[in-house]
């Protein structure tokens, strides 16, 4: 069992009457030649790392190596606990978790690149917050993660997940699409709804540039991971509500890649434009 694009993936889901996560698992066992036990062990390890990276900085804030971030996740968590948060408890928790992972990454801690280090907070932040809010099992969380891996595979194969190649839309945008699809499956949506959510998530962040201040994966990366989970939540809710995006996922992925390749080099992880190119952004670069 294999697929090279979303159309083929959905065809397999329909033909076999399987979810996206189930088709992806079958692919790993056939193409990847991994046993179900091996897959479960690997996924359990991924979840363990994700859970630690989403929670540890909230309890033990630490300044990043570059000095641009550190302690933001704890601030978000405290705000949500002390008053009625603007974003509601579940999204506020997802935002805090996503930002926490970036703090772990920026302090040389262990994270899961999902799909990259710069976008590593979106998938765990979104899915773990959903698991906690809806009291879902570890198996349901694992299904969500397997679903996200299918979307990530499609984007790596047919577009890009590299900020240097296609801007932050290819990093946080891809991670947001992955998370949106995973959320939909975790909450009982169909494979078609999953792809609708992923397509919407890509569309909403289309054109997002990659402009790390001082060349560090700290800011504005951390804030964009927060936006990534927010976009994933929105796209998932739209899809679960029956709202459809007019552009199919495969075409949306191709459009994202084309837009990314059209971005000037200053806006593709060179730290020469956008936030990094501002007068204040340049002073941080001089200090490093």
Q: Is residue 221 within 8 Å of residue 275, measured between CB atoms?
A: no
Residues in the chain: 288
- In Å, how far are 105, 168, 224, 282 from 235, measured between CA atoms? 26, 18, 16, 35
Q: Is residue 252 part of a domain?
A: yes
Structure tokens at 266: 């200053």
**Distance of alpha carbon 145 from alpha carbon 141, whole angstroms:** 6
Return the pLDDT at 288: 56
**Domain annotation covers residue 29:** yes
Q: From first to last of its 288 residues, what are the pLDDT tens digits of the chain? A: 789 999 999 999 999 999 999 999 999 999 988 999 999 999 999 999 999 999 999 999 999 999 999 999 999 999 999 999 999 999 999 999 999 999 999 999 999 999 999 999 999 999 999 999 999 999 999 999 999 999 999 999 999 999 999 999 999 999 999 999 999 999 999 999 999 999 999 999 999 999 999 999 999 999 999 999 999 999 999 999 999 999 999 999 999 999 999 999 999 999 999 999 999 999 998 775
Answer whether 23's CB lies under 8 Å from 8's CB: no
**Which residue, among 105, 195, 102, 204, has the nearest Cα to 148 in the 3D structure?**
195
Range of the domain at 228: 6-287
1 assigned to some structural domain: no
Three-state DSSP state, 120: coil
Q: For the domain that residue 225 is a member of, what is the CATH number?
A: 1.10.4100
The Cα-based distances of 147 to 66, 130, 141 in angstroms read 34, 15, 10
Domain count, the chain: 1
- Could you please report the per-residue DSSP string of 23-70? HHHHHHHHTS---HHHHHHHHHHHHHHHHHHHHHHHHS----SSSS-S
Q: Is residue 275 part of a domain?
A: yes
Establish if 180 belongs to a structural domain. yes
Strand-pair partners of 215: none
CA gap 53, 58 in Å, rounded: 9
What integer pLDDT is reported at residue 285 of this predicted model? Answer: 81
**Count of CB atoms within 10 A of residue 82's CB?**
8
For residue 141, tell me if it sits in a domain. Answer: yes
Asked, for residue 273, whether it belongs to a domain, the answer is yes
At 4 the pLDDT is 97
């Amino acid at each position: 069992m294999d697929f090279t694009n979303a159309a083929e993936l959905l065809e397999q889901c329909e033909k076999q009457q399987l979810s996206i996560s189930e088709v992806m698992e079958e692919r790993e066992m056939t193409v990847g030649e991994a046993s179900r036990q091996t897959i479960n062990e690997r996924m359990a390890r991924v979840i363990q790392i994700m859970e630690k990276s989403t929670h540890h900085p909230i309890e033990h804030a630490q300044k990043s190596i570059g000095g641009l971030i550190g302690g933001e996740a704890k601030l978000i968590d405290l705000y949500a606990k002390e008053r009625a948060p603007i974003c509601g408890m579940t999204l506020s928790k997802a935002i805090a978790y996503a930002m926490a992972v970036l703090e772990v990454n920026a302090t040389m801690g262990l994270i899961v690149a999902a799909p990259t280090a710069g976008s590593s907070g979106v998938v765990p932040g979104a899915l773990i917050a959903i698991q906690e809010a809806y009291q879902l099992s570890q198996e349901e969380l694992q299904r969500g993660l397997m679903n996200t891996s299918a979307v990530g595979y499609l984007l790596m194969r047919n577009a890009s997940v590299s900020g240097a190649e296609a801007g932050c839309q290819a990093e946080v945008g891809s991670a947001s699409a992955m998370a949106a699809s995973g959320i939909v499956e975790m909450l009982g949506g169909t494979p078609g709804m999953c792809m609708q959510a992923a397509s919407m998530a890509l569309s909403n962040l289309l054109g997002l540039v990659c402009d790390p201040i001082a060349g560090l994966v700290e800011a504005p990366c951390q804030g964009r991971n927060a936006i990534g989970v927010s976009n994933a939540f929105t796209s998932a809710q739209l899809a679960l509500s029956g709202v459809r995006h007019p552009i199919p996922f495969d075409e949306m992925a191709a459009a994202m890649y084309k837009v990314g390749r059209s971005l000037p080099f200053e806006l593709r992880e060179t730290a020469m434009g956008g936030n990094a190119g501002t007068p204040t952004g340049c002073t941080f670069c001089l200090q490093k």
